[in-house]
């Protein structure tokens, strides 16, 4: 099946940003949404916490803006923060219209919880599985709209540029993308006057990550290869509390556990004895400090004491309170033999969110005409040097809508896609060395974790840079000789994004927010973005 001529807008990614944009656009245009795997496989469905918005009496936009700026260590663009925060309440209203069953107090008031870095209760949520509820509601709305077509198992390879046209025009813009159809094994050219990247982040660049399997930085890598700038790629957020379990990988323990009174403890030497509550040694806000502070504190104590994990304990709260607020976590951990109403949870930090990405403006526009980006793939200026909890889903709705509205407003200026050259496989063969792909995937994730993790040094970053260059050469040679597969496409993107992260980290000669380097522990007087140009 080919999807080459009948759609006005191509959206790559089927999470909160992509579907929000699709629903807005579908009022006037035919939209094609591509998913790399299943429609629901992206990061949105994994989000446990909630969505931040000023809804509590006494809370203000200024307060939410200030909390975001403080968490972002001054690297945020204030106009972006104001834009997102001021649009948050209407985003919540829209989600309610789509049928998201947010928790309530009584019959009317939304239940608001508090998370680290927030000065007020402003997190709306659906128990501890907000993302899944949002994903379901957006998919229902999209499925009900005849102007939206959602196609799973389409792996984007590269953006279509002027050089890919049968008759190049000289116009430097994006006309769609080439995508591998996993059902047929063929690469198809998909064209549209406008393309939106909503591909998520690059979490799987790291060995330990709470991100889903498909978070391999595809949109960032494709946009970079096409000529778009990227920004602040060194700002990789590590969630402080991922379940430590040798059998169950990457299960996140939501920020809200600390927001509702959970304590971080150094495990006691004797079972049944209370552990030491250590966060007071690092920050007056204790467990409610921003994520970068908490993650570094846990990392410090684990390394200092030679621990495998620390404890997160909420068992001092009434059992019904714990089960009522965290039913998903309670059931999951009970299945692993951990009763969180009676005992602490073993936790370690893990990569959690890509704060940098493809540079966009307030309308979601990238450097390349015809190409927009929204959500974790982008660097809008909202998060700065550290994402404030529960601002990420919010960014998806606000910028998905902003990109869609800009396309609607400027539709008459959009160009009709010219004819595109078909994908050329005349000089490649099927690979007989899949072990190369798997080995290099593992190697990237291992050295990125060891050398470009929570605490960095110049020497470790330089080692990582040398390995990235060697792998990039090897992967490009492999890519040029063998027919593309989903794994090879992802590996190529992982190498690209790993290089961007390392280059950005080497460029920043200070410690700010999520980027902490022992060689430059101080904060510079002026906050400046790390901007990379192709």
Is 291 one of the catalytic residues?
Answer: yes
Provide the token pair at 251. 């299960």
**DSSP string across 150-208:** EE-SEEEEEE--GGGBSS--S-----EEEEEETTTTEEEEEE-SEEEE-----GGGSSS
Q: Which long-range contacts (CB under 8 A, 24 or more apart) does 364-367 make?
A: 364/196, 364/399, 364/400, 364/402, 364/403, 364/406, 365/403, 365/406, 366/197, 366/223, 366/228, 367/227, 367/228, 367/229
Q: How far apart are CA 264 and CA 120, in angstroms?
A: 21
Task: Decide: 481 and 428 in contact? Cβ < 8 Å.
Answer: yes
Q: Which of 114, 122, 229, 291 is catalytic?
A: 291
Q: For residues 311 and 275, is the Cβ–Cβ distance under 8 A?
A: yes
Give CA separation, 458 vs 448, 452, 505, in Å: 13, 10, 9
Q: What is the largest CA-CA distance in the chain?
A: 74
How many helices, marked H, and strands, marked E, lie in the chain? 13, 22
Q: Return the closest-CA partner of residue 200 out of 190, 209, 189.
A: 209
Alpha carbon distance, N-terminus to C-terminus of the chain: 34
Say if CB 41 and CB 35 are below 8 A apart: yes
Q: Which two tokens stand for residue 454?
A: 């929570």
Among all residues, which ones are annotated catalytic?
Answer: 291
């Amino acid at each position: 099946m080919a999807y080459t001529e009948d759609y006005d807008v191509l959206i790559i990614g089927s999470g909160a940003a992509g579907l929000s944009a699709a629903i807005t656009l579908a009022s006037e245009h035919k939209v094609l949404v591509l998913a790399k795997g299943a429609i629901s496989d992206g990061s949105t469905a994994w989000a446990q916490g909630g969505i931040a918005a000023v809804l509590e009496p006494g809370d203000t936009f200024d307060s939410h803006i200030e909390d975001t700026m403080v968490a972002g260590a001054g690297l945020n663009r204030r106009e972006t923060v104001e834009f997102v925060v001021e649009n948050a309440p209407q985003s919540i209203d829209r989600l309610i219209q789509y049928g998201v069953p947010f928790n309530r107090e009584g019959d009317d008031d939304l239940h608001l919880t508090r998370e680290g870095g927030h000065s007020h209760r402003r997190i709306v949520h659906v128990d501890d599985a907000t993302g899944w509820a949002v994903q379901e509601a957006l998919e229902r709305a999209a499925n009900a709209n005849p102007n939206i077509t959602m196609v799973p198992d389409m792996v984007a390879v590269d953006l279509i540029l002027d050089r890919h046209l049968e008759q190049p025009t000289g116009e430097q813009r994006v006309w769609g993308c080439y995508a591998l159809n996993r059902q047929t094994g063929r690469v198809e050219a998909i064209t549209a006057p406008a393309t939106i990247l909503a591909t998520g982040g690059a979490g799987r660049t790291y060995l330990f990550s709470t991100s889903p399997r498909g978070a391999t930085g595809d949109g960032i890598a494709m946009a970079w290869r096409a000529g778009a700038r990227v920004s602040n790629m060194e700002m990789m957020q590590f969630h402080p509390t991922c379940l430590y379990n040798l059998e169950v990988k990457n299960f996140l323990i939501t920020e809200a556990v600390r927001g509702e009174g959970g304590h971080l403890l150094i495990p006691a030497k004797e079972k049944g004895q209370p552990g030491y509550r250590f966060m007071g040694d690092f920050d007056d806000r204790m467990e409610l400090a921003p994520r970068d502070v908490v993650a570094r504190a846990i990392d410090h104590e684990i390394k200092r004491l030679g621990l495998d994990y620390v404890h997160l304990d909420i068992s001092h709260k009434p059992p019904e309170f714990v089960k009522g607020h965290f039913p998903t976590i309670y059931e999951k951990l009970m299945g692993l033999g951990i009763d969180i109403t009676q005992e602490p949870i073993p936790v370690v930090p893990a990569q959690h969110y890509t704060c940098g990405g493809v540079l966009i403006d307030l309308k979601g526009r990238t450097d390349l005409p015809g190409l927009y980006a929204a959500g974790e793939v982008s660097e809008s200026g909202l998060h700065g040097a550290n994402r404030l909890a529960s601002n990420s889903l919010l960014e998806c709705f606000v910028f998905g809508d902003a990109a869609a509205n800009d396309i609607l407003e400027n539709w008459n200026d959009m160009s009709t896609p010219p004819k595109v050259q078909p994908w050329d496989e005349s000089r490649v063969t099927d690979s007989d060395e899949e072990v190369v792909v798997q080995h290099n995937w593992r190697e990237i994730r291992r050295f990125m974790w060891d050398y470009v993790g929570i605490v960095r040094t110049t020497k470790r970053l330089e080692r990582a840079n040398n390995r990235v260059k060697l792998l990039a050469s090897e992967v490009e040679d492999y890519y040029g000789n063998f027919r593309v597969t989903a794994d090879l496409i992802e590996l190529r993107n992982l190498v690209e994004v790993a290089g961007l992260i390392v280059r950005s980290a080497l460029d920043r000669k200070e410690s700010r927010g999520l980027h902490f380097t022992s060689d430059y522990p101080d904060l510079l007087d002026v906050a400046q973005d790390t901007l990379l140009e192709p």
